[in-house]
Amino acid sequence: MNGIHDMGGMHGLGPIEVEPDEPVFHSEWEAKTFVLTRAIGPWRKWNIDAGRHQIELIPPADYLRMTYYEKWYVRLVELLVKTGLVTQAEIDSGKPEQGSVRQTPTVSVERVPEIALNRFLAPTVEPGIAPLFGVGEKVRARNIHPIGHTRLPRYARGKVGTIVIDHGVHPLPDTSAHGLGDNRQHLYSVRFPSRELWGEQASERDFVYLDLWDSYLERI
């Protein structure tokens, strides 16, 4: 979807502020939000694409105001309620509703290192799914404007690049995010010259690499 989250190439939003010696978490609640998100993941109530799309649904004014982990927190609460793991009343009160079924955690202490590091990526080697493009081939990113989730940024749409790596087969986020199936297809690293993306004012020595699926590309 086209929204404030897709900010690549936009002007007038001020400089990027770099925090020297930035800590991993600025406060304890950020760490707890991260831990809860990782711990709930193994229930498989939603996937990474659905999670990303939920952040995209945050109203633009709130999105710009919120910090990184505030967005994570809002996403987590919305998905917990949507998937029925908790009710809105339980979120508001901080207590289980009378008669609610107690959920059994899927994560034990022994599994914490595995859960913390594993992103649950499916195998990428699937000989039955042939690539539509080859390494070294010039391609154009399709000029699409889906109303749902996509990983094709606006600034690259309609632009020409070169495939440099075939990452194998992965679920297409556009369908995976909405429960419409994995639609597994090849994922490529595509190199775009900066001048192709930004015009003659960009450096001719700079390139941008984007990971794009078969469905995002077309032959020239």
CATH code at position 194? 2.30.30.50
Question: Is 176 a residue whose pLDDT tops 80?
Answer: yes
Residue 86 and residue 35 share a domain: yes
Residue 142 and residue 97 share a domain: no
Question: Is 13 a residue whose pLDDT tops 60?
Answer: yes
Question: Is 214 a residue whose pLDDT tops 80?
Answer: yes
* Structural domain count, the chain: 2
Residue 154 and residue 105 share a domain: no
Please tell me whether residue 92 adopts helix, strand or coil conformation. Answer: helix
Whole-number Cα distances in Å, 98 to 12, 79, 95: 51, 22, 9
pLDDT of residue 112: 75
To which residue do tokens 């899927």 refer? 106
pLDDT of residue 85: 92
Residues 53-98: pLDDT tens digits? 999 999 999 999 999 999 999 999 999 999 999 999 999 999 999 8
Residue 154 and residue 102 share a domain: no
Q: Tell me which of 66, 85, 117 is where a domain ends.
A: 117
For residue 132, how many C-alpha atoms fall within 13 Å in the half-sphere facing its CB? 15
Q: Are 166 and 188 in contact (CB under 8 A)?
A: yes
Residue 162 and residue 194 share a domain: yes
pLDDT of residue 9: 86
Q: Which residues 6+ apart lie within 8 Å of 58 measured at CB? A: 5, 66, 71, 74, 75
Q: Which residues of 198-217 are buried (b: 16+ CB within 10 A; e: fewer)?
A: beeeeeeeebbebebbbbbb
* The pair of three-digit structure tokens given for residue 73, joined into one six-digit string: 């927190």
C-alpha gyration radius of the chain: 20
Paired sense of beta strands 185-193 and 160-170, if any: antiparallel
Question: Is 34 a residue whose pLDDT tops 60?
Answer: yes
* pTM reported for the whole predicted model: 0.89
pLDDT of residue 109: 78
Model confidence at 190, pLDDT cuts 50, 70, 90, reads very high
In percent, the amount of the chain with pLDDT more than 70 equals 96
In this predicted model, which residue has the larger pLDDT, 103 or 211? 211
Q: Are 69 and 4 in contact (CB under 8 A)?
A: no
pLDDT of residue 116: 67
Question: Which domain does 84 fall in, by range?
Answer: 28-117
Residue 113 and residue 144 share a domain: no
Q: Tell me which of 85, 117, 149 is where a domain ends.
A: 117
Q: Is residue 125 part of a domain?
A: no
To which residue do tokens 């309609």 refer? 158
Report the pLDDT averaged over residues 169-188: 96
Residue 98 and residue 51 share a domain: yes
